[in-house]
């Protein structure tokens, strides 16, 4: 059984798709008022660094300025539109009670991550986290996973699983050489060739399975 469980954040532990959509709609209204946003247009934007998305969607604007503006817009929308997925508290507390290590690797900034943790009660359930602005290259580069492994003193990649909801997360796990767990409720589907070690349809069921699984 794995010793270290590393989770992605958006789309994996927290349901933030509505927040992302509403926040980007405010940005489109200001900077691209004639743009008609297609249905599902913002779904792929959960995963890549937000600065990358903003640079792509608003190429004529200053990206650093947009990133600061997006952070302020998203903060108020977090309160209204962001929730934990069912069973998140159960799975994280179960892992901790069994002596497992729990980490998060996300492309979010540290400011946004800490705000999310505090807002949704994750601060005491996640032991360590690595954010996009704390590594030279964000996901799918594996630097975040390696940093978490080093902080926990884990060398064997067989002891590690990275759990996520997107192709970005799968490639992160693949690049790190660790197993990948996929949350099946994700609207971001994987390529057929993706090697998935564990499919998670419910954190409640996953927690029960872990309780009775032998090391």
Does 3.10.400.10 match the CATH number of domain 4-15+83-211?
A: no
Burial pattern 179-208, b for ≥16 Cβ within 10 A else e, equals bbbbbeebebebeeeeeeeeebebbeebbe
Domain ranges of the chain: 4-15+83-211, 17-81
Average pLDDT by stretches of 10, the chain with 215 residues: 96 96 96 94 89 94 94 91 97 97 96 94 98 93 97 97 95 97 92 88 96 72
pLDDT of residue 1: 86
Taking CA 214 as the corner, what is the angle to CA 156 and CA 148, rounded to the nearest 5 degrees? 30
| CA dihedral for 80, 103, 52, 166, sign (positive or negative) | negative
Reported pTM = 0.93
Task: Provide the 3-class DSSP secondary structure of residue 135.
Answer: coil
């Amino acid at each position: 059984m794995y010793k270290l469980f590393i989770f992605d954040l958006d789309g994996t532990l927290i349901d933030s798709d509505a927040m992302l959509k509403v926040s980007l709609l405010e940005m489109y209204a200001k900077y691209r008022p004639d743009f008609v946003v297609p249905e599902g247009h913002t779904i792929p934007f959960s995963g890549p660094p937000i600065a990358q998305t903003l640079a792509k969607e608003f190429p004529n604007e200053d990206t650093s300025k947009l990133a600061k503006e997006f952070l302020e817009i998203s903060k108020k929308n977090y309160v209204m539109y962001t929730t934990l997925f069912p069973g998140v508290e159960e799975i994280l507390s179960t892992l901790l009670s069994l002596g497992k290590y729990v980490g998060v690797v996300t492309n979010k900034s540290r400011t946004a991550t800490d705000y999310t943790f505090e807002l949704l009660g994750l601060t005491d359930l996640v032991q360590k986290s690595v954010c996009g602005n704390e590594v030279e290259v964000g996901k799918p580069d594996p630097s975040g996973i390696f940093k978490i492994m080093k902080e926990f003193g884990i060398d064997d990649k067989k002891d590690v699983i990275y759990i996520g909801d997107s192709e970005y997360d799968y490639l992160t796990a693949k690049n790190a050489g660790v197993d990948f767990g996929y949350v099946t409720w994700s609207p971001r589907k994987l390529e057929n060739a993706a090697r998935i070690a564990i499919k998670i349809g419910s954190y409640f069921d996953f927690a029960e399975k872990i309780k009775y699984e032998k090391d």
